Amino acid sequence: MLLKPPKTIEEQISLLKSRNIIIDDIESVKVFLQNNNYYRLMGYAYQFKIDEGNYQLNTNFSTLTEIYDFDKLLRQILFPLLEDFEISFKTKLAYFLCHKYGTECHLREDIFKNLQYYFDFITTLLRNIKQSSKQLFIKHHNDKYDGRFPFWVLIEILSFSTISKLFKNLNNKDKSEFLKLHYGYDSIIFENWIEHLSVIRNICAHHDRIYNKNFNLKFLKEDHTDKTFKVYDSLYALSKIIPNKNLWNDSVKKLEQIIKEYKEKIDLNLLGFSVINLNKIGIKL
């Protein structure tokens, strides 16, 4: 099957109209589509879709852009929370392992469960060192220490995803000791949570859609209540393990504000945001 040819802005607008999308101001729609990919926008129209080619009658283009704006604001609230947890988690892990196993603890293959996973980590590590070779702290260690690095230095060039996988491969005794010291959850739940947070962190970093996205990841809750497979699951995890409670409380207020502002346009169920769920993480509507 041949791929579809590209459409001009005018053709995109005509297509929208043919699919029951109401356009009140063509010039503003043109400006929007010149700066925002048509294909990206239509991800926010899924809830209004009735078949392959059409959307519900009276679906207004402005409704799509308002949902689009809400999603952008949601990402802007989420990302600082994810950043705060990631930096704190990486800092705590480096401190724990370096004090227990030494400056180059990352070279102790005996403290990891699966050797193949460990070797995959080393491959990723070497690639990241090479890619970061122009950074001053990497150049400093290459020049002064013959390319040897403390783990607390390397942690700064490793992604959250890479560190999460490394932690998962750590021996059970050390994982349990670390989690008891810092988080109070067992390794099965905590590993599951950081996997979720790693996925949503990458979504936020790449400006991808969160609204009405299904996260097809198994999610574990310590109270065994239902999972939503929506962004709520990750918010629930963050509410339990975020180190900066002031940041969390400020973010809750911002979430409450944007939910109230856009409540006529968004469907809270498409975020996993039932009233009961929101109450569990401190959000009052």
The domain locations on the chain are: 68-280
Given a cut of 50, the residues of the chain with pLDDT beneath it are: none
Buried b (16+ CB within 10 A) or exposed e, 168-177: bbbeeebbee
pLDDT digits (tens, 9 = 90+) for 124-151: 999 999 999 999 999 999 999 999 999 9
What does each C-alpha distance from 84 to 40, 76, 192 come to in angstroms? 28, 13, 18
pLDDT reported for residue 52 = 80
Given CA atoms 160, 198, 73, 39 in this order, what sign does their dihedral have?
positive
Its pTM stands at 0.93
Q: Which amino acid type is present at position 29?
A: V
The CA-to-CA distance between both ends of the chain, in Å, stands at: 49
Over the chain, what is the mean pLDDT? Answer: 95
pLDDT reported for residue 224 = 61
The SS3 call for residue 49 is strand
pLDDT reported for residue 53 = 78
pLDDT reported for residue 119 = 98
- Which ranges constitute the DSSP H helices of 102-135? 115-131
Question: Residue 226 and residue 129: Cα distance in Å, rounded?
Answer: 42
Q: Which stretches of 34-75 are assigned E, i.e. beta strand?
A: 59-60
CA dihedral 167, 190, 155, 91 (to 10 degrees): -130
pLDDT digits (tens, 9 = 90+) for 158-168: 999 999 999 99
Nearest to 61 by CA among 36, 81, 84: 36
